[in-house]
Structure 1
């Protein structure tokens, strides 16, 4: 019994802090939004979300699949540090939804997660399938950090605290997430909270909080904070970061209002028929890319954490098979893609990388 108690104690250590702020701390900012009903945010389009009962019904399938969501060999990484100076247009995928974007000489970091697990517990929850290619301390000076929503695989307490200590850039977040950041020690003057369609300019770079179709929640609370994608509009280039989203009519609207985009960074993994409205599948990501007037598509939200029932490489296989004439870059984690002259696609996920 004492061993069990110790195990439970380790799993629960730090949970209240990691879960973040409560509704009372979030409400003062959220209540200013027409999308907030006094308790929660919602999508304009009907959007079914997996219920607890649905989740329990999936347990047999999860048990049968065993290691189907894991790669058969080590994931090849590129561990070269990023350049000290940002280029005109480039993307370094660091795994899952964490990317380092270079746009018109500025660096923007998206959904930074360096922790081993995407969970409020350090010992329980989905663990990484590959290491982070670089350390937080190797990041260059950032212009901004953007966060799409407050799920653990997109908003990570330990990483936020590291960025507070090592960077001076502001955190741009959808409404309500500022309360989590304040609880974790982020100074007020480094937090910018925005509603859909609002924007904020940092060093000549306009960052637009763009409507998408998802949900939020930490612990047992759902939808107390807003979710979004981000449109980055520089003097010469435009980049769209999807974060995490299902297919929505908002893509076409954003394409008309803010596009066309030189690069779209869109999620392609963790989809399932049980939650079709809140995660893109690969074919929907291609549709979204076209809606946005995308030039180069960089897929994210696959390969790093096992969060669905599909096999590990299925998302990228479906994406490349159905891509048609779309320009698609498929970097290894840590690999920098120069969007002005991307190299040929390499199906590195099909076997060991001979260069490593």
Structure 2
């Protein structure tokens, strides 16, 4: 029987985990198996190889935000603010959603070591405006910030997460009644907005013994006049076409483009597959996420956006490139500034990344 995440006994939520089609043999699984490269090689290259440009050499341009910036209602009904990596604030249908919020200095289980952010949070936490829900995709350190959860828990917010992740939230002080946990394709309403957890191809865990004991997902976020797709962390999967058919088209997609490598091609998309995923879900404007804030792979820190722009140009996909802290309404104005420096990077021909097992064509 499925254990209550971190609780030690069974409860109704644990039974939901056990009944999930994704749960068997004591943990959650992807629909496609994951093929990883040799672990020794991955660790060796991460610590002793890779690009010499994995971190910026000078401070990055950041658009600083305060609560006052959110006091003005979006003219179009849809506005997004990129706070770096995968942290965004999506305002849609009169609701304000805080997605995968990370304010921590490091994406790590300790405060003194591990990937360190390239810039301070563009929005100080004490300036965070009222939000209708905090939306989480999975429990990795670069998406789930323990100290932030502990800080926000007394505010009695709604927390929406995939199955099992609520165990961490409750442990860190979030009242059980504030947490909703979803399986893939399950939906929940926040005000007049419908959120549907969508399949993703990734993994979970925050340390020894927790590998794949919680689920991972993306989200469709739908109001009467706008739709947004957030992919979460994912590799390429056949389900993108199904997501587009069932829940699209989308005015805006938020899709990860960084932290990829051929040694873990079944964990992250990479730029070319990210653009393909955007097209498969029937996206309009694409906002690339999961790059430019943490050193989580071997590529140069600007390579994800450079390769994304090349692939997007090839397929006539409109890309938004806001500075960290940038705020925009996709139907009114899409930021296209090139705010990052020119540093060496590898092309798809030099460093291809393609996920295994998919029946989709390899389009770069």
TM more than 0.5 = yes
- Aligned ranges 1:40-189 → 2 under 5 Å: 40-49=27-36, 52-59=39-46, 62-65=47-50, 67-81=52-66, 82-87=69-74, 88-165=77-154, 167-189=155-177
Structure 2 residue runs of 5 or longer lacking an equivalent are: 343-364
Structure 1 residues 71 and 22: alpha-carbon distance in aligned structure 2, compared to 1, 3 A threshold: farther
TM-score by length of 1: 0.88
Contact 2:94 2:192 in 1 (8 A): no
Q: Give a deviation string over 1:312-341, Cα, whole Å, max 9, x none.
A: 100101111221211110111101021111
In the alignment, is the contact (CA less than 8 A) between 1:136 and 1:162 conserved in 2? Answer: no
Secondary structure of the structure 2 residue equivalent to 1:90: strand
Aligned match of 1:234: 223
Aligned CA distance change for structure 1 residues 184 and 287 (closer, same or farther; 3 Å): same
Range with bigger deviation, 40-49 or 222-231? 40-49
For the Cα contact (< 8 Å) 2:42–2:263, is it kept in 1? no
Structure 1 Cα separation of the partners of residues 340 and 294 of structure 2 = 15
Determine the C-alpha separation between the residues in 1 that align with 2:51 and 2:306: 21
Residues 89 and 108 of structure 1: CA distance in aligned 2, closer, same or farther (over 3 Å): same
What residue is the counterpart of 1:319 in the other structure?
Answer: 308
| Aligned pairs, number | 330
- The Cα of 1:50 is off from its aligned counterpart by 5.7
Matched, 1:205 2:218: no
Partner of 2:362: none
Note closer, same or farther for the CA distance 1:29–1:248 as it changes in structure 2 (3 Å cut). Answer: same
Please provide the CA RMSD for this pair: 2.0
Shifted more, 48-57 versus 228-237: the winner is 48-57
Residues 50 and 156 of structure 1, relative CA distance in 2, 3 Å threshold:
farther
State the partner residue of 2:21.
34
- 2-side partners of 1:320 and 1:229: how far apart? 23
